[in-house]
Amino acid sequence: MDSADPFGGQPAALFLSGPIGAGKTSLGRYLVRQWGGEFIEGDDHAATGKPWFASSLSTVRALLSAANAASRIAGLAVVAYPLRRREWVYLSRHLASAGTQALCVNLAVDMADLDAPARGRKLASHERRRSAEMIRQGYASRPFAALTLDTGRLSLRDCARQLRLAFPDLAGLPPAM
**Residue pLDDT, tens place only, 109-160:** 988 887 777 777 788 899 999 999 999 999 999 999 999 999 999 999 999 9
Q: Report the pLDDT value the prediction gives residue 171, as an integer from 0 to 100.
A: 54
Residues 54-82, mean pLDDT to the nearest whole number: 92
Give φ, ψ of 28 to 5 degrees.
Answer: -60, -45
Q: Report the pLDDT value the prediction gives residue 172, as an integer from 0 to 100.
A: 52
Statement: residue 2 has pLDDT above 60: no
- What pTM was computed for the model? 0.89
Q: Report the pLDDT value the prediction gives residue 118, as an integer from 0 to 100.
A: 72
Count Cα atoms within 13 angstroms, Cβ side, for 125.
Answer: 0
Look over the chain and give the mean of its residue pLDDT values, rounded to a whole number: 87
Alpha carbon distance 46, 160 (integer Å): 26
Crossing angle between the packed helical segments 85-97 and 52-74, to the nearest 10 degrees: 40
Q: Report the pLDDT value the prediction gives residue 161, as an integer from 0 to 100.
A: 93
38 and 94 together in one domain: yes
Alpha carbon distance 64, 13 (integer Å): 10
H-run or E-run covering 128:
helix 125-136
109 and 143 together in one domain: yes
Number of domains in the chain: 2
Statement: residue 47 has pLDDT above 50: yes
28 and 71 together in one domain: yes
Residue 164 counted as domain residue = no
Considering only 41-45, 156-160, 165-169, which range has the smallest mean pLDDT? 165-169
Nearest to 82 by CA among 155, 32, 34, 144: 144
49 and 107 together in one domain: no
